[in-house]
A and B are shown apart, each in its own frame.
Chain A
């Protein structure tokens, strides 16, 4: 019964919050939709930690997409045998994960220990977000290092990935994930939680990656605020 809650109901609830939350925030809080950059308060450690964290995260995300969405039959079909796949996934994942961890640790120390200034601009959502992100990243690293490198290894593509894809066709089978070591279950639950708080935190800046900038003319001209575009009051009364 609990399995049904955590691995069937809970992911959908979190996803619903994720979607509705984003719509709500985008419509009602454009002013809050920002990276909330703190570089102006502290730059030295950010310049080290932030690129490590972000580039690490990008590679980790790419790895997750590969591992969760692409079934083994596809990789076999293009001539990658399971052993090669496993090696690339584990070692690639470990390197990306270590970079991510290094960045995270630097950013955590910077925010919560090193700089008095940054602690002042840290709000409640930041605390929650950092706690969940840290937990999630360390559980993920534990899977990679303790289970897959030093342990006997676990072929998650036959269970976790199947469950993950089943979520999209609305027929998730919680038994799949229960077969896996408990760390994988934790990893999934924490991921759902992060998804649920996502729209309320600074994580929304992820959706604002400014790729359109590459194709834009340099100088932007705008006509003065035209009344028929957006009523003044709703924007002001937030």
Chain B
């Protein structure tokens, strides 16, 4: 057993209102630079919908993630090493700007400088890439809140496995928001595909990063990532991705997206996992067993054997304590209500989701039942294939029973707490049906609904005993690059629109 720690996140989707605050604050922090205008390390999608970039979940098209070869061994879906090196001159599975969207700004200058005239001056949209006038035809969340969905949503790859009937009726029945960041996978396909070994997983906290000095721009990572969360900076020609805000995490602070989330739906903590078992867990033959194998690779932080192994690996005591108090471990293992995003990609993602109950509640109401009554909700869950099938195709590789079980727990918790608060009694029959103790349900309620900051974020500080030494070298500013702070240095041809931060571009 080789115990490693991993910083992980869980998002409680029932609380996401799709306000995009996480996306905006993330963009302001990380991707408001030239070359990454189209990049959203954090984005929020409406489901059903085709996501960002368009249809990224269709791995028959993009070849992201892993598959098993004929001998049952893990292989990147885009092919073996030789095959991929042979396609190094032109990546056949690379999304282009049009699959994301062409970022635009507006010609605000015109509003200020237009001469006196009869017509009101307008600010026309301009491409941030070329500086030319353009029509805005797509965006990172174009189908937000099912906007345009009658035309667009049927392209959602998750609908492929479902029946005709579902496709026709879903738009009247449900929707939910899906915020996405890099999954910081235990078996990262991007890292495995990088020919230059520029991408790596940090031993201490499992954060997946791109070494900007080692990246040579082969762009294999972009196509290998099934979540399309590695991007090319078209100015520098290098890959960039979500960093899990590691400078903040190292200080024990939550990521920017989590900190600014108005729904307080994100949880951050560490989990221990067995690094020796990663390949085994990812190469389970039966897709329906992938969820369990991914759950089981996360180790019990109270098991004396695990603790001994963790100490042998040099994991510090405060990290062990943090792993024991981790809200992530509770959500994944104790309550078993958090599920990974597309476990069938076999990357062992480490951003998990509590699936939304709201689509079920919507349907319950629509059918004329009482959505506060556990029995009515349980009935909807067990009798209706929609939207359970859809959620299953996203979170459990198609296993409807698992998703039903999780939703029943959430519905049961609602009813239990409602009875506690309003009637002052204990709904034993509900507890029995969801198979949880009263204490567990109340703890779960505290974690999910009260969601105190101290409960949501249990982040141990990085051990920086040599921080002072590091700081003494830090005599320069990271913006002391070409052009200096606050300046967009070189105006490129085509009337490039200035953005605010200094450009870092190769000579």
Contacts and interface: CB of A to CB of B under 8 A. Distances in A.
A218 to B, nearest CB: 4
A117 B129 contact: yes
Nearest to A29: B507
Interface stretch (A81-89, A173-181, A187-195, A230-238): A230-238
Given A41-B234, A233-B475, A220 B217 contact: no
Interface stretch (A50-58, A70-78, A92-100, A161-169): A50-58
Contact of B216 (A40, A205, A223): A205
A220 B90 contact: no
Interface of A: 29-43, 46-48, 50-51, 53-55, 116-117, 119-123, 125, 200, 202, 205, 208, 210, 212-214, 216, 218-224, 227, 231-233, 235-238
Contacts of B469: 227
Given A120-B493, A210-B216, A227 B473 contact: yes
Interface centre among A37, A121, A205, A233 (most CB of B within 10 A): A37
B506 A46 contact: no
A218 B94 contact: no
A117 B238 CA distance: 17
A235 B131 contact: no
B232 interface: yes
Contact of A218 (B192, B236, B494, B504): B192
Contact of B200 (A32, A34, A220): A220
A208 B235 CA distance: 20
Nearest to A217: B192
Contacts of A119: 493-494
A187 B188 CA distance: 47
B28 to A, nearest CB: 21
A40 B94 contact: yes
27 contacts: A29-B507, A34-B217, A39-B90, A40-B95, A40-B234, A41-B129, A41-B234, A43-B96, A51-B90, A119-B493, A121-B492, A205-B217, A208-B216, A210-B216, A210-B218, A212-B197, A213-B194, A218-B74, A219-B188, A219-B278, A223-B202, A224-B202, A227-B466, A232-B470, A233-B473, A235-B213, A237-B476
Given A120-B496, A121-B234, A208-B196, A36 B506 contact: yes
Looking at chain B's contact residues, is the secondary structure mostly helix, strand, loop, or mixed?
Answer: loop
Interface residues of B, number: 66
A123 B132 CA distance: 19
Given A47-B92, A233-B473, A220 B199 contact: yes
The 4 closest A-B pairs by CB, nearest first: A32-B506, A210-B195, A36-B237, A218-B192
A233 B219 contact: no
Given A30-B214, A117-B97, A119-B494, 17 more contacts: A30-B213, A31-B238, A33-B213, A35-B237, A40-B95, A40-B96, A41-B97, A116-B494, A117-B130, A210-B216, A213-B195, A216-B197, A221-B201, A222-B200, A223-B204, A237-B476, A238-B481
